[in-house]
Amino acid sequence: MYRQARAHLPSHGANVTYANYVIKPNDATGRQPECAINQQYVTDWHDRWVHLGAYQLFPGARVQLSNLVEGQDGTVDVGYDAMAFVLTSIGAGHRCQDPY
């Protein structure tokens, strides 16, 4: 089964240009796809959902996000709120960075 991964960006407190979401599907391959989201585009003070892509997830799967952003010193504001996983068919749905 594939699931569309979506991240919710709050309307405030997210101003990093490269928030790197790491998807850990917990499969036998050990692969860890990544999706970089520009959180600065939340400029109209509205909450937003962004697509991280569609993945085959297994028990123990997770999504990881850190405020330790490449080229920054750990003081940038990385906004996070909620995740949603929507059941989808193989290859269907949005890819990383597609608008919602």
Could you state, in order of their start, the residue ranges of all structural domains in the chain? 2-88
- Of the ranges 28-42, 53-67, 69-83, which is most confident? 53-67
**Residue 59 and residue 24 in contact, taking contact as beta carbons nearer than 8 Å:** no
Q: Is the pLDDT of residue 89 over 80?
A: no
The structure tokens listed for 100 are 């919602």
CA dihedral sign of residues 8, 9, 12, 14: positive
Band (pLDDT 50/70/90 cuts) for residue 91 is low
Q: Which amino acid is at 34?
A: E
